[in-house]
Structures are given as structure tokens and as C-alpha cells.
Structure 1
């Protein structure tokens, strides 16, 4: 790809080279409504709005983008990039302000403007009231009937493009400062590694305020000059197979989603809904944004191979907002590597061969580091590199690593400019400044990265490491009344400082009136003891849809723990069955 100075120049280039290609098409939740914009139309709309924004701001001002998945969001995002306004994509505020990140984001980035659709998506006036209280000017956005491009809008590569707020799965959301250069470098890394091109149509349902939805599923196709099709998150959650039907309809090559989405497609599979669907065009089924499960890859492939899905399309990947997005993935067409390793070894923070059949744990590779990116596995305490076979914190270096956290110099220094002690493996002249990811993993001798969990989430019981996602998977599979990917495991301390494990788990909607809590608790306890050699201190069953999750579907374990301790979770209940089942804590 030719060198660009900014995303604004990318869009201008595509508007000239591919003016009549449909850049963005949106599937509305209303049947039959599919508005779209060509590259020329998108550029003209964005440039027109950029003129309006420039008259109300100075370069560097922040603007909240509060939109559902719609054309107006795409226009507003590029208008901000053109005008030098720092875009801040944000989920529309929820009614329950106590459990909403929007107030924290507004306070953190102090925006001058807030952009949202002209169509009244705030009938109660809640959003306008919040903006007025904070002195934020509201700018309603609608598509111009006949936009005129008055002038070109080009920005410098070093300028800040947008703030990507972290999901808040383990802490308060922080604004990651992403420059135009960070974006361009990561988009080029993706293109080169995944083999994407101008005919690589993308289909996505992931919210555009999430980095995977915004960068992978919207900005990557615009960077390529390829079509992008957007669906609504609610539409996917209600009818996940419609995502696959859209991939078929548009002959899409690329569609990315978190691991739970692939499980949901299998769980909701109905053969009549897949009639006539051909998935053979799908070349990159990117699986990221949360731990990738080997079982999920196999279940999805087995279910949808009869419809043309190729197992080699499944592409586990690793990324994070602090690195702009993608860090590792395998090349297009490469088979996914799945390793059988020792379950007991993982508990001891090492990767080894299983000692017997009952000691097998299966882990999926997230591929090797993108070109131009360096990875290291480091002991988080000593800050020294770990030898092969040991699990440690994943550290990385790349030009796509963001500038730091907005207005948080101390945290930026600690996270973005960490140093590896006594680093003999560092090539001469290479800067010893690394990004600490907070994720735990292992790199094998072929350079393949295996991610096993979050550093802050690891629980240590009697000196043994336990990863919450492993326990959560065991719990969900222990009884048919429990929802897959809707449980949280975390540790509390007893009076002597020992860690005790609590599991909070949603029940299935279809089972909530008939399940027996003692029966479920017994099944859960037995499965965890048999698979992990520990007893749970407490098993808490809650109503479906009430487990705290981020906007991308990540389980918020720390928030779940806090709400449980404060008695704020909504328990499952029936007339005679208690929801909170104590368990033996020895």
C-alpha cells in the first residue's frame, strides 16, 4: 500500500480511486432498510460536516460520538479526523447511571462537543440533560442532501486521531491515545498478515465504539477500498445466524467477533435458518477480544462445514486497545494450531506435555507476532524474560503501540514504557521500552503465542494458579440449566488471608422456573473438584442477563465481585429454592 499521512487522506484516496463502490452498508433492525454510502459519498458527507466542526472547535478538542451502528457514525468519525477533532466513540448512556461508564468517560476527556443522530434516540432527554450539566455542546448529525466538498482535509500522522476507551473489564475505563500513524501502521499490519485486498468485503455486528468493531471491521475495509456491511449488535444477539446469512449474501471474506459469538451461533443453530447459505467465501473468521477456546473452534467448524465453512478460515488472534488493535494472528489459509498441554502444568505457570489422559488441557494458538512487532514473555515481578515453557506477562513493542493514556502520565509511564531487566536478548540499538499488556501467555519455539488469561484475574489457591475462564467453562458445562459464557469466578480472602473462590453464574431463561438449586450446586461443585482439584467457597445463581459485562461481551469479574460483596446482584429465585448456595470451603 502507498504511504498515507492520515486516515483522512485514505478516505480521500478511495473517493477518487473507487468513487462508486459502496463503502458502508447498514442493516437496520427494520426489515428491508439497508442505507449505504459510496466512498465518494462518504468523503463528501464527512468533509461537509468537518467544515461545521472546524467552526466550533480548535484542533485537539474532543468530541463524543454517541451513535448506534449507522452511517451517521461513520460520517461523524471521519469528519472529526478531517477537522483535527479527537473523536471519542462511546456507548449511548444507560438508564442506570450508577453502572454506566459514560459519566466517567465524560469527566475524563472533558469533551467540547457531543455528536449523535438527528433522529431522536433520546426521547426522555436523559442524554441532553447530562450534556447540558457538563457544558458539552450537542451537535445533531444527519446526512446532507447535497454535500459539497469545499476543501481538502489532510492531517499530520503524529496527530491524535481518537481516544479508544478500554473496556473496563478489570479497572476504570482509560482513554488510549491513538494517533493517525498508530492506526495506519496497524491497518497495514493487518492487511499484510491476513492477505486482505480491495475485494475483501467485511460483515460486522460489533459496536463501533469497540476497537474490534471500529478498526478491524470498519477502518480496515475503508483502508483497503473494500465494502463494509454493518449489522446491529441487538440484531445479532437475537438472531445470530443472520450474521452468517449476511456473509453469504455479500460474499464476504472477512468477519470478526469475540469467542462467545461463535458459541452463540452453534447454540442457536437451526437447519431451516441456514437453508441456501454458502459460507465458502469466508476466508478470515477472526476470533479475538476474549480468550479463544479450542472447543469453540471445533464446535463451530463441525456445525458449519456442511455450509461451506473452511476450518482454515478460523483465525484466532490477540490484540488490545493499547496496541491500537491486532498484535498476533496466523497467515490467511494457515491451519489453527491447538496443543494438548498439562493442566497441572498450567496451574504451575508452565507449559508441558500432559502426564496422563486426565491431565490434558487444550489451548489454541493466536498466531505469531505481526510484522514489525516484537513480543516477550516476562516475569511481572522480576521484570526479566522467562525461558521457553514458562507462562508470564505478555510485553510488546511496535510502531502501532499507542501514545499512552489520556491525562494519566504515571499510568502511561508504567504501562507503555516498561523496561525488561538485564535484557540480553534485545538486539543492539533496540529501545528497551515495552508495553505491558496485563495478559498472561506463552510463546513456543515457533514463535506462536498462546494466551491463557489476565494477570489481575489469576487466583492462587494453596500455591496453585487457577485461571477464572477455565473454572467458568467447567461450571457452565456442569449442568444444562446454566448459560455458557455467562459466569464469573473470582477470589476473596478469608480471615487468615487465604484465597477462597466464588462463582457467580446465570441460569438459562428456559430453565429458570424448573431448576433445583441444590442439584445445580452439587453438579457444579463436583465438576470443579474433579477438573481443578479445588472446592468452591460459594456458588451464586443469578437471573439471566444480569452478569456484568463490557460492551464487547467481556466478563467484568472485578465488578461482579464488588456487586456481590455489596449485595447488588439480582439472584435467581423461586418460592422454595434459595439462590445463594454455600459450599465447603476447605
Structure 2
């Protein structure tokens, strides 16, 4: 389940030419283009301030409204670094978005029937944006995926295509060869038609026949990242997507037209995909680039943020690792004129670390970055995306909890210097018209604040279920609370007989704010005690500079299944897989292993049955960048992760 508590982990030239070009382009705020009636979040609230989408409202309703009222204002701008290090800005106005989307939708109407799946297998770019909207506009179900040449994900792509069985692949002329190769792997009777988005002339738009879309129809399938199981397609309805966009806008206070977005997140990922939805809802503007452009030169993100900050408020999401990477490799050159005074940064998709936030804030405070800029947040694909964030005026904060009590399910505060202290960052308050309760997964009863349990969600933003997975849908989306707290219930206002979605995440409420403590399926249970893998991984990272922080996986296996062992018992035993840090390829592993063993024994009271030091890129990750601990465990048990230490 991709979750916002944060992305793919996938240094240089400045962007002076881009900044100069950006500074002279037309104002992108929609009202600057002569809009008479700008879209507003308030248009979709009832008299009590609740989000209430009228029947018949769809994602295309939002899109068409922006197209109608924003006209020649810039909608989407893609920074292409394929041929130029400084980036080439290519853009579409709202009017052009309308024409191109209708043209592609008209072509789809010629070869599909309503409800068929249309997969977008295109590189990051403007074609992806219009292709996604066109699939929905045509009455199909969009399937946002990645181009087949994305390395390391062929098995995942094949599984998704087999599950969703799309009838059309939307791609680009440049990527069509790779897509055609993918098509040839599919049995002939089910082979999709391949359509190159950029080869459809705008004139085809004249043949488009508008489709009536119901608010509760499926708009698209968002496939989970597969951190704990096979990816499954979450059925995201127009109501769920529209509600969640409004929830984000209201929670982060983005409800005016001087807000625009900057993103480098892949558009097939839920965070990246929702960023293209923001402008459609309120007539805004998005500047985006490819993930690889960011990873190769992290300064590109900073320069794009600075350019936007000079024009107004700019919002940009990123996973926690990005803040660490930019603080290390993305600092501006001396004398560069960088302005981050109007920036809002959503930190999510993986566990948020207070040290990462502090490091980034300190590195960029000289460039006007407010201490309130970074917003730790929580979310997941099954909730469309967004669940909670801290208040607009709040700074990111952490609490320190006692490790021993955590293992027993209790959140007990200690001082930061306590030897058993574990830091957890607040993910703030749950969005309007959404409910999150902490539940005992065995009794299904709501737990009081301070007690750790599974997070259950309810709201119109929750997905309808998993595509073609009846049993999994029932288990995840069809749950009923057995009891609520008589006082202080976080389910207050939700229907008594409402259905709740089990997240599989562990969390706790403290002072009304939500903290994420881990994943149920990742818990390490040894001798009856619970241990959080990320806590053990942090200890291992701190034990030696020869291991790569953030690229360590801790998990348990039965003792008799450890490769090369002579033990015959099935007692759960701890295993740690750690990637070597840059420059540590020739370091003697024995002192590193001993340092990790000693640190884990001292801090957690655990013996480590096996430690493997592996090369960079060995520890598997999901498409959203989270550690795939179960996949790592499978590789380990199959003997594919080096020799025992």
C-alpha cells in the first residue's frame, strides 16, 4: 500500500536560463487570463462546511471548468532535461489541454466501449497528463502505469496488466517500440491496441461525443506499491478523487488561485498523479519534471521551487529521503539568488524523520524557507491519497516514546536523551470529512489515545475496493467497529453502521494528533516482544559509517530456515541486510558486523542471527520507494543475498 508517511529512491548545472524564461512568461494564475468565475473549494461544501459533491460531478467536471474559465493561462509545464542540462520548458494552456484531451478521448471512443481499461504507459511528460484525463473523459477507466523501459519493474507491470486487462495502451511515439514489445508478451486474443498520444491531430477533437459520468463511477485504478503483497488495483471513483483533492486543499489551505505546484514525482504514483489533479480543480498551474532529472541533480527541484515562490505560494510533495538528498547534494552555488519564502513542502510516502526535516530546514533557512514549510503527512492509495497533515501554521514536531512500552502497545513519553527514546513525527490532524480511529485488530474495538493499534479509515475519499478481488475487498474495506469510545471517540460523526477500511498501519493519537508507528506485517516478534523494524534499522545505521542509512532491512525468520545454519528449532530470529555506504566497498566487513551486533544487543536486547553487507541497490524497494522488507526476506531465504556474517 503506497502510503504518504511519504517514493522511488531512484550534481550540477544551475537553471539560470530556465529561471529567466520563467520570469518572463505569462502569469499562470487563472484569473490573470481573464477568468470571470474561478473554481473555489467552497463551491463543493454544504451549509455545515462538509464536503458534498453533487451527483454528476466528476473529475472531468473540474477539468472542463478550468478549461472554460482559464483559457489561455498556463496549465501544465514540463521541464525536459533529456537534451539540455538546464532544461527545456514545454507547456500547455488550459485551452490546449481541452483540445488535446478531447482529441485523444475521441480516438478512444472509436476503439473502446465505456468501462474498458485504458493503460497509460508513457514517459513522464505532458502526453501523460492529457492521456490520463482523456481515458476518463472517454468513459473508460484509466490505468496510470509506467513506461515498460522502467528498469526493475517488468514483473510488476506484467502482473498489473494481467489483472486489469486493458484494451488500449496509450503511449508516445518515442516509447511505442518498448510498448509494442510488451504487447507481444500478451496472448494474441487479449492484445491491446497501441495508440501514440502525440500522433493524434488536434482536429480529431471535433468528433468527440461528451459522456455522462456518474460521480460514483470508477475514474481510475491506482495500483498499490506492493510493499507487503502483490499489487492490487484500488478502484478510485470520481467522488473519492474529488473529495480527496478538496480535503488536501482545505487542510493545507490551497484554496486560492495564487497557489501552484511543483513536482518531480512519477505520475503513475498516487502522490504524483494527484498533483496533476490539483490544477484541474482550482484552475492552477503545475510545473513538473521526471524523477530521474531530480535524482541526477537535486538542485533542479530547488530552482523550480524558487521560481514558483517568486510568483506566489507553491506546494510540492516529496518523500522523506528527498529532503535528506537535497540537504546533502542540492545546495545552491554560492551567490545564487534562491527564494523559498512561499514554499509548502509535503513530506510523506515513507516514514518521516525529524532529523531529515531539521537538516533540510537548517540548510535552506538562509534562502527564506519558513520553519513551518515542511508538512509531515500520512496517506495511502486505498484512501485515494491523503489522510492527515499538520496545521498550516505549525512546525514539524516529534515526540519521544519509550521503546519497552512501545513493544507492549503503549505510547509513554520520555525525554529525547533517554536511552530508550524513539522519535516519532506528528502527522497532524485528519482531513475534513474523513475519520481515522485506532483499533485493536483482534477485538475491533476503538482504543483510547495513547494506546497503539491499527489505523482504520472512513470517508468518501476511500476507494470502492480492489479490482476483481472480492475477498481482499471484503477484508480491507468491509469492516465494522465493534465499539467506540464513550468519550473522545475519533469516530464521532461517522455513521454507526459505516464500513471502515483497515490500513495495516499501526498508529496512536497523542494530544489529538496522529502518529504512525509502523506496519503490522513488518513487526518483528521475538520471544513474545514486539520490535519495530525501522527502530532496529536506525540502530544499525548509526552503528557504523560503512552502512548506508535508509537502505537497511530488518526482519525475522525461523532459525532453521537461515541459509547455512545448523540449527533445527523454529524460533524467530533477527536478520539484518545492510547496503554498504558509498566508498565502503572494500571495507573489512567483520568490524562492521560486530559493531551492528553490539549496538542492537545494547539498545534492543536482541541477538542478531545473521547480518549481510550487500552492494548498493540490492535491498529491494517498492515503486513508491519504501523498503520492501518481505521481498528482501524472500531473497534472503532463497540464498540470493551474499554470504553469512
Once the two structures are overlaid, the 10-residue window that deviates more, 310-319 or 354-363, is 354-363
1:465 to 507, 514, 530: 530
Q: What is the CA distance between 1:563 and its match in structure 2? A: 1.1
Kindly report which structure 2 residues correspond to 1:536-575, keeping only aligned pairs within 5 A, or say none. 536-569=608-641, 571=642
Residue of structure 1 equivalent to 2:602: 530
1:243 to 301, 313, 323: 301
Residue of structure 1 equivalent to 2:79: 27
Question: Does 1:430 find its partner at 2:496?
Answer: yes
Question: Does 1:11 find its partner at 2:63?
Answer: yes
Which whole-Å CA distance do the structure 1 matches of 2:426 and 2:634 have between them?
33
Q: Give the alignment's Cα RMSD to 1 decimal.
A: 2.1
Residue of structure 1 equivalent to 2:267: 208
2:571 to 498, 502, 508: 498
Is residue 157–residue 181 contact of structure 1 (8 Å, CA) maintained in 2? yes
Is residue 504–residue 519 contact of structure 2 (8 Å, CA) maintained in 1? yes
Q: What is the CA distance between 1:123 and its match in structure 2? A: 5.3
Deviations 1:105-137 (A, max 9, x none): 011111111111112464595324235654222
1:449 to 477, 500, 514: 514
Question: Does 1:330 find its partner at 2:404?
Answer: no
Which whole-Å CA distance do the structure 2 matches of 1:23 and 1:124 have between them?
28
Which whole-Å CA distance do the structure 2 matches of 1:478 and 1:308 have between them?
35
Q: What is the CA distance between 1:327 and its match in structure 2? A: 0.6
Q: What is the CA distance between 1:427 and its match in structure 2? A: 5.2
Deviations 1:40-67 (A, max 9, x none): 1111100111011011111110011111
Which whole-Å CA distance do the structure 1 matches of 2:575 and 2:335 have between them?
40
Which whole-Å CA distance do the structure 1 matches of 2:353 and 2:151 have between them?
33
Seen in structure 2, the aligned counterparts of structure 1 residues 439 and 275 have a Cα distance that, compared at 3 Å, is same
Deviations 1:412-434 (A, max 9, x none): 11110112223355658532421
Q: What is the CA distance between 1:92 and its match in structure 2? A: 2.6
Question: Does 1:58 find its partner at 2:113?
Answer: yes
Kindly report which structure 2 residues correspond to 1:131-170, keeping only aligned pairs within 5 A, or say none. 131=186, 133=188, 134-142=190-198, 144=200, 146-147=202-203, 148-150=205-207, 151-170=209-228
Residue of structure 1 equivalent to 2:584: 511
Kindly report which structure 2 residues correspond to 1:105-144, keeping only aligned pairs within 5 A, or say none. 105-120=160-175, 122=177, 126-131=181-186, 133=188, 134-142=190-198, 144=200
2:142 partner SS? strand
Is residue 72–residue 143 contact of structure 1 (8 Å, CA) maintained in 2? no
Q: What is the CA distance between 1:104 and its match in structure 2? A: 0.7
Q: Normalising by structure 2, report the TM-score.
A: 0.84
Which whole-Å CA distance do the structure 1 matches of 2:225 and 2:102 have between them?
30
Deviations 1:148-168 (A, max 9, x none): 455545522111100000000
1:400 partner SS? coil
Seen in structure 2, the aligned counterparts of structure 1 residues 482 and 274 have a Cα distance that, compared at 3 Å, is farther
Which whole-Å CA distance do the structure 1 matches of 2:517 and 2:301 have between them?
28
1:439 to 505, 508, 511: 505
Q: Normalising by structure 1, report the TM-score.
A: 0.93
Q: What is the CA distance between 1:358 and its match in structure 2? A: 1.2
Seen in structure 2, the aligned counterparts of structure 1 residues 281 and 87 have a Cα distance that, compared at 3 Å, is same
Deviations 1:218-268 (A, max 9, x none): 212321211101111111111122111111122251010111111111232
Seen in structure 2, the aligned counterparts of structure 1 residues 384 and 236 have a Cα distance that, compared at 3 Å, is same
Which whole-Å CA distance do the structure 1 matches of 2:471 and 2:334 have between them?
52
2:372 partner SS? helix
2:433 to 367, 372, 376: 372
2:346 to 282, 286, 292: 286
Is residue 241–residue 274 contact of structure 1 (8 Å, CA) maintained in 2? no
Is residue 149–residue 178 contact of structure 2 (8 Å, CA) maintained in 1? no
Question: Does 1:486 find its partner at 2:551?
Answer: yes
2:76 partner SS? strand
Seen in structure 2, the aligned counterparts of structure 1 residues 268 and 142 have a Cα distance that, compared at 3 Å, is same
Q: What is the CA distance between 1:497 and its match in structure 2? A: 3.3
Q: What is the CA distance between 1:273 and its match in structure 2? A: 7.1
Is residue 93–residue 100 contact of structure 1 (8 Å, CA) maintained in 2? no
Deviations 1:8-52 (A, max 9, x none): 111111011111221111111222322111111111100111011
Once the two structures are overlaid, the 10-residue window that deviates more, 521-530 or 421-430, is 421-430
Kindly report which structure 2 residues correspond to 1:307-456, keeping only aligned pairs within 5 A, or say none. 307-354=367-414, 357-423=418-484, 425=486, 429-444=495-510, 446-456=511-521
Question: Does 1:253 find its partner at 2:326?
Answer: no
Which whole-Å CA distance do the structure 1 matches of 2:294 and 2:70 have between them?
30
Q: Name structure 2 gaps, 5 residues minimum.
A: 1-40, 45-52, 560-567
Seen in structure 2, the aligned counterparts of structure 1 residues 510 and 66 have a Cα distance that, compared at 3 Å, is same
Once the two structures are overlaid, the 10-residue window that deviates more, 476-485 or 242-251, is 476-485
Is residue 472–residue 487 contact of structure 1 (8 Å, CA) maintained in 2? yes
Q: What is the CA distance between 1:206 and its match in structure 2? A: 0.8
Which whole-Å CA distance do the structure 2 matches of 1:273 and 1:477 have between them?
31
Which whole-Å CA distance do the structure 2 matches of 1:452 and 1:169 have between them?
16
Deviations 1:498-531 (A, max 9, x none): 221111111123321x311112112222222232
Once the two structures are overlaid, the 10-residue window that deviates more, 158-167 or 307-316, is 307-316
Is residue 131–residue 137 contact of structure 1 (8 Å, CA) maintained in 2? no
Seen in structure 2, the aligned counterparts of structure 1 residues 132 and 92 have a Cα distance that, compared at 3 Å, is farther
Q: What is the CA distance between 1:361 and its match in structure 2? A: 1.7
Which whole-Å CA distance do the structure 2 matches of 1:547 and 1:231 have between them?
26
Which whole-Å CA distance do the structure 2 matches of 1:101 and 1:246 have between them?
32
Question: Does 1:42 find its partner at 2:97?
Answer: yes
Which whole-Å CA distance do the structure 2 matches of 1:122 and 1:526 have between them?
53
Which whole-Å CA distance do the structure 2 matches of 1:168 and 1:437 have between them?
13
1:490 partner SS? strand
Once the two structures are overlaid, the 10-residue window that deviates more, 168-177 or 479-488, is 479-488
Once the two structures are overlaid, the 10-residue window that deviates more, 346-355 or 306-315, is 346-355
1:386 partner SS? coil
Seen in structure 2, the aligned counterparts of structure 1 residues 143 and 125 have a Cα distance that, compared at 3 Å, is closer
Seen in structure 2, the aligned counterparts of structure 1 residues 459 and 424 have a Cα distance that, compared at 3 Å, is same
Residue of structure 2 equivalent to 1:575: none
